[in-house]
A and B are shown apart, each in its own frame.
Chain A
Amino acid sequence: MRVAIVTFPGSNCDYDAYHAVADELGERAHYVWHKDRDLGGADVVVLPGGFSYGDYLRCGAIARFSPVMDAVAEHARRGAPVLAICNGFQIACEAGLLPGALLRNASLRYVCEFRTLRVETVDSAFTAEYAPGQLVRIPIAHGEGRYVADDATLDRLESEGRVAFRYVDERGAPGDDGNPNGSLRHIAGILNEGRNVLGMMPHPERAVDARLGSADGLPLFRSLLAAVGA
């Protein structure tokens, strides 16, 4: 598997993604600067977390116009996987690769902590290696992670099984206790219509070693490996 990790000015989780792919999985990863237009033959593209362009105007609003985003959109159009994490999720929404938007946390506070998520679908290139309904511990680190979309969009995401991860409490129940940012319907991650673009605020690339708190992000990368079959 060959994974391209896009570095925007202000990305700060690009190395974490590289570490997950190259060191933990033993697969090939390379960085792609946001001004490049070539993804280097990548099977998978990662839009990593961080603060691209200082989050000016709105998170992700400027990054979506980076030259590399045309190649990312084309990669997604072909049905190839795009993993958009945290700031990457915000960029993907601004770019129209995913529906909805990420707004300031309801608490107005930046939240950095482990959270429990429930795997809502295993029917995707990102989640096939999880068990349906599996509870996973994955860290979040964001100030603008409150997922918002209109009711029709939310209903459609639900009915098409495109909610990939939901915030839950430690017993696995969705509710305000488990929801760190006020996301509508406790949504932590969603899939696009083709199920090949995943946007999520939690950081699976920071949960790849049990000695550092959790390895629950590893099955996501293993799912990608199985899906691209290389």
Chain B
Amino acid sequence: MTPYRIEIRVVPRRGILDPQGKAVADALHALGFADVTDARVGRHVVLDVRAADAGAARARAAEMCDRLLANPVTEDYVIESAEPAAA
């Protein structure tokens, strides 16, 4: 088993009102960043796991997202990376 570091991005699903993202967009506009047309705020999860290989690490991460880390009704997730980590 090899240690892997997995990075996961969870974001509110498009089409579902994200008032936090809207507040951030409004604040950016207030600061003069008029080029911002949309903002969505999610979370970034970093996991250290042990797995046989990167594929197995990703499969486990997907299972964790489905069961806990993301709400299937309102959020989408992307497993951004699964890299061997320093032990």
Contact = CB atoms under 8 A, between A and B. Distances in A.
A12 interface: no
Contact of B19 (A61, A93, A105): A105
In terms of DSSP, what is the predominant structure of the interface of chain B? mixed
B69 A103 contact: no
A149 B73 contact: yes
Given A108-B20, A148-B16, A182-B17, A103 B68 contact: no
Interface residues of A, number: 19
Given A57-B68, A61-B68, A107 B19 contact: yes
A103 to B, nearest CB: 6
A103 B23 contact: no
Interface string A79-114: 000000000000001100001110111111000000
A94 B20 contact: no
Nearest to A104: B19
A152 B12 CA distance: 19
A182 B22 CA distance: 14
A177 interface: no
B71 interface: yes
B74 A148 contact: yes
A110 to B, nearest CB: 13
Contacts of B16: 103, 148
A149 B13 CA distance: 12
A165 to B, nearest CB: 20
Interface of B: 12, 16-17, 19-20, 23, 68-69, 71, 73-74
Interface of A: 57-58, 61, 93-94, 99-101, 103-108, 146, 148-150, 182
